[in-house]
Amino acid sequence: MDEARASHGLIQWHGTTIIGVKKNGRTVIAGDGQVSMGNTVMKPNARKVRRIGEGGSVIAGFAGATADAFTLFERLERKLEQHRGQLMRAAVELAKDWRTDKYLRNLEALMIVADAETMLILTGNGDVLEPEGGIAAIGSGGNYALAAAKALDPYEDDPEKIARRAMQVAAEVCVFTNDRVTVEIL
């Protein structure tokens, strides 16, 4: 939520760090469990990373409003079914809908999605971004996790270790990120 809306008395939702690391034929998406409203931790153990698609062939993590994220998970799953599991095609179609649909364009969330070949960041602006270097991060602690992962990348071959350590760094620095991490691996 932007500062202008927050300054008009609306509750400002913060939170979440999601990181994706793709390296050596493995892909990991990790996310913390904290849900905050203002300066209050509402829930410490939310599950913001999950498997979707046929046989759990896609992993996805979200940052943003929970109800909005569930809507996007469901929509992406339908797009995956329509496009026979082709993540890039499904993501582009979801991004088109997200940008143009009157209801969807009001959703406040970001997503990192990945299958065995591709990792993408999806935004409500219609962006479908493939991160350079196989590392992507979103959410309030995303920049901390991204910096930590990029620093670790040349020294660590295991993408799970990179993601877990990056999440640990984000949790130590960002007040809207905790150390209750969910990790999914392809």
Task: Name all domains of the chain by residue range, CATH numbers in brackets.
Answer: 3-185 (3.60.20.10)
pLDDT at residue number 28:
98
Task: Report the candidate in 179, 182, 162 with the shortest Cα–Cα distance to residue 170.
Answer: 179
Each residue's pLDDT tens digit, 153-180: 999 999 999 999 999 999 999 999 999 9
So what's the pLDDT on residue 2?
A: 40
Please indicate whether residue 16 is annotated as part of the active site.
yes
Please say whether the dihedral angle defined by the alpha carbons of residues 159, 180, 175 and 65, taken in this order, is positive or negative.
positive
Q: Are 183 and 32 within 8 A, CB to CB?
A: no
Scan for tokens 């793709």, then name that residue. Answer: 22
Residue 50 pLDDT > 60, yes or no? yes
Angle between helices 87-100 and 66-82 (to 10 degrees): 130
Residue pLDDT, tens place only, 87-137: 999 999 998 888 887 777 777 788 999 999 999 999 878 889 999 999 999
pTM: 0.89
Query: How large is the average pLDDT for residues 11-27?
Result: 81
Confidence check: pLDDT of 56 > 80: yes
Q: Which residues contact 60 (CB under 8 A, 6 or more apart)?
A: 29, 49, 50, 51, 52, 73, 76, 111, 112, 113, 114
Q: Indicate the average pLDDT of the chain.
A: 88
pLDDT category of residue 14 using cuts at 50, 70 and 90: low
The amino acid sitting at 96 is K
The pLDDT of residue 180? 95
- Tokens, residue 180: 């209750």
Catalytic residue among 16, 17, 177, 182, which? 16
Strand ranges across the sheet with 40-43: 13-14, 35-37, 40-43
Cα–Cα distance, 145 to 172 (Å, whole number) = 10
Give the residue, 156 or 1, on which the prediction is more confident: 156
**pLDDT of 7 higher than 70:** no
